[in-house]
Amino acid sequence: MHAIYDDLGGSDGVRTAVTVMYHRVVADPELAPWFEGVDTDRLKAHQRAFLAAAFGGPQVFTGRSIPEAHGGMAITDDAFDRVVSALMTALADLGVAKEAVHTVGERLEGMRGDIVGA
């Protein structure tokens, strides 16, 4: 089975995409407040492991469930959309195929109900 993880460039591609995404996210004045005081290196490591597992790569993610990790954070639909957009733009800018970027967006959209709490 062909994994989207491979379309993203494997471990190196996921690492680069997460780095680029978080640069955009923390620079966004609408999103920055959610990340104040957060250990972004640790967060990026969790995000890399989660995305790798979610997209058919190594299953090394051992973090909290999506609802547990985002519960009580009052994440809005707009904030969710902005973070997803930051990741999809990062992937496109890194040369990931349009079909793979679209698939990533669809999979993340399926998680909206577990993340948005406001």
pLDDT of residue 2: 63
Going from N- to C-terminal start, the domains of the chain cover 4-115
Task: Report the pLDDT averaged over residues 21-29.
Answer: 94
Instruction: Report pTM.
Output: 0.83
- What span, in angstroms and rounded, lies between the C-alpha atoms of 87 and 100? 12
- 4-115: which CATH topology? Globin-like (1.10.490)
- Percent share of the chain, pLDDT over 70: 97
Q: Report the pLDDT value the prediction gives residue 79, as an integer from 0 to 100.
A: 94
Residue 100 has pLDDT above 90, yes or no: no
DSSP string, 55-104: TTS-----S--HHHHHTTS---HHHHHHHHHHHHHHHHHTT--HHHHHHH
Q: What is the pLDDT of residue 28?
A: 95
